[in-house]
Structure 1
Amino acid sequence: MSSGYGMNGGVGRCFPFWQEVLACYVVNASAEDNAGKKKCSPVLEDYYECLHHKKEHARALAIQAAYNKQRNAAPREDAPTAKQIRNLGLLGKDEDTKKVLGDAA
């Protein structure tokens, strides 16, 4: 939370990052010259990532997309057909059940 206190009264999750941002501004920026603020952009970026998790979400989406691409590129060779799946457990369809379950049934 912006007050520096967390949901349960302790220190907020991103408060240490905010302290780093303030410390960077105190050391690098002055009232006359704002050029030192550019040095604080990596620290500020870390603070924004703590707040919004945009990079983390982007990485998770990229990993999910790569997983889906890989899974769709190499389908199972022994995958049962839709007809075999529909016939599972029906009377008189024991052959389809054995094919899908691998002769264990």
Structure 2
Amino acid sequence: MASGYGLNGGPSRCYAFWQEVLGCYVVNAEDGETGKKKCMPALEDYYECLHHKKEAMRTMKMQAAFRKAEASHPRENAPKAEQVRNLGLLGKEEDSAAVMGRS
């Protein structure tokens, strides 16, 4: 939260990261532009704590890889969509038997 307090009155979840950023800026204040560059890793950690962009990107990549792996190894003997739609309908007992593996 913007106030620095969490939902339950304690410090916010990213308060420790913010303290690291402030500490880095205080230590490297005289260095000017190079001091800011030294503090970029701490600032990136703080932004990640706030927005979870890297974590979301990693999750999306893992899901895409899973979908790709799943698509490259289709199930053997998987019923087609039209066969599944016919299951349980009157007059389609032969389709149901074929999908269920009954003769």
TM-score, length basis structure 1 = 0.83
Shift of 1:92: 4.3
Q: For 1:37 and 1:86, how far apart are their aligned partners in 2?
A: 61
Which residue is equivalent to 2:101? 102
Q: For 2:98 and 2:10, how far apart are their aligned partners in 1?
A: 59
Which residue is equivalent to 1:3? 3
Task: Give the % identical residues.
Answer: 65
Q: For 2:82 and 2:67, how far apart are their aligned partners in 1?
A: 25
Q: For 1:53 and 1:3, how far apart are their aligned partners in 2?
A: 20
Which residue is equivalent to 1:23? 23
Q: For 1:80 and 1:49, how far apart are their aligned partners in 2?
A: 44
Q: For 2:8 and 2:100, how far apart are their aligned partners in 1?
A: 52
Q: For 2:89 and 2:63, how far apart are their aligned partners in 1?
A: 37
Equivalent residues in 2 for 1:46-57, closer than 5 Å: 46-57=45-56
| Deviation string, structure 1 residues 3-62 (Cα, Å, up to 9, x no partner) | 2101221110111100011111111222xx312222111111100100111100110110
Q: For 2:56 and 2:82, how far apart are their aligned partners in 1?
A: 39
Shift of 1:86: 2.4
Equivalent residues in 2 for 1:3-82, closer than 5 Å: 3-30=3-30, 33-34=31-32, 35-82=34-81
- Output the amino acid matched with 2:5: Y
Which structure 1 residue ranges, 5 or more long, are not aligned? none
- Output the amino acid matched with 2:89: L
Which structure 2 residue ranges, 5 or more long, are not aligned? none
TM-score, length basis structure 2 = 0.84
Q: For 1:17 and 1:7, how far apart are their aligned partners in 2?
A: 17
Q: Which runs of 4+ in 1 moved over 6 A?
A: none
